[in-house]
Amino acid sequence: MKNKITPIEKELVLPDDEFISSKTNAKGVLTYANSLFIKYSGYKESELLGQQHNIIRHPDMPRVIFKLMWDTLQSNREFNGYIKNLTKNGSYYWVFANTAPSYSADNELLGYYSVRRKPDPEKLNYIKNLYVDLLDIEQQSPAQEAVKNSLYKLNILLNGREKGYDEFILTI
């Protein structure tokens, strides 16, 4: 159901004390969305459930961030990151996301659970600039090299700080 939505420059800002949450199956298909997720996405619950979570992916997001997310989750670790989401009407909203794998009692991967909150504005300014740089690298690179090239740039930044992505994102 991935629609071609034209982004507009209208930002929605989450309240300080509310959290967006969702669950997906192991393939990233939405199985649950709380009322705040539904409100901010602009979709009806029936339009969300059964769809890939990336229905709200904003085109300003560097693909490398999602590579890091999936690499982290597939290593059975939680992922933390800043994400710009696209609403049904083209508006956008930023979140600080914590996403974790969810397992059965038999240690079978059931899916993923994500809780998002309003990001710290000062940290978000830094992230916005970083994402512009990473996206520019991806757009200037041949398609098959785009993520690799932006990951290289990100690793240079991280190595200069002597931190991995996980520690970096929590301490900026």
Q: Write the DSSP symbol of residue 96.
A: E
> What pLDDT is attached to residue 3?
61
- pLDDT per residue as tens, the chain (172 positions): 456 899 999 999 999 999 999 999 999 999 999 999 999 999 999 999 999 999 999 999 999 999 999 999 999 999 999 999 999 999 999 999 999 999 999 999 999 999 999 999 999 999 999 999 999 999 999 999 999 999 999 999 888 777 788 888 988 8
Q: Crossing angle for the helix pair 63-74 and 121-140, nearest 10 degrees? A: 110
How many angstroms separate the CA atoms of 8 and 12, rounded? 11
- pLDDT at position 2: 52
Domains recognised in the chain with CATH numbers:
20-171 (3.30.450.20)
What is the reported pLDDT for 96?
Answer: 98
Which pTM value belongs to this model?
0.93
Look at residue 172 in the predicted model and tell me its pLDDT. 87
Residue pair 26/110 in contact by the 8 Å Cβ criterion: yes
